[in-house]
Amino acid sequence: MAGLAVKRARLAQGLTQAALAAKVGTRQATISKLEAGEPATRMHVLIDVLAALGMELQSMPRSTGSEIQDIF
């Protein structure tokens, strides 16, 4: 999901993968792999990419599924 959010933000800002990579100081292939959801992306790279796009990483408790049961 992070990859899709990165891709959407990058496109909304009119950046190519290569331009974003240059801003971050990484390779275009790294941005491509991140957007494709490859799990090998290092956390510091993800944080740097998000910062370059004006985004931040947030954590939340996992859903237990009980929220759906509470509706019915």
Residue 15 lies in a domain: yes
Indicate whether 27 belongs to any domain: yes
> What integer pLDDT is reported at residue 65 of this predicted model?
64
CATH code for the domain in which residue 44 is found = 1.10.260.40
Q: In this structure, is residue 40 part of a structural domain?
A: yes
Residue 10 placed within a domain:
yes
Domain membership of residue 62 (yes or no) is no
The domain of 22 spans 2-52
Q: How many domains does the chain have?
A: 1
| Structure tokens that stand for 51 in this block | 């910062």
Per-residue model confidence (pLDDT) at position 60: 81
Radius of gyration of the chain (CA): 15
List alpha helices for the chain, DSSP H.
2-12, 17-24, 28-35, 43-52, 66-71
**Looking at residue 26, what DSSP letter applies?**
S
Tell me the C-alpha distance between 42 and 55, whole Å.
Answer: 17
Would you say residue 25 lies in a domain? yes
Q: Looking at the domain assignment, is residue 71 inside a domain?
A: no
pLDDT tens track, the chain, 72 positions? 789 999 999 999 999 999 999 999 999 999 999 999 988 889 999 999 999 999 998 888 877 766 555 555
Q: What is the pLDDT of residue 41?
A: 84
pTM over 0.95: no
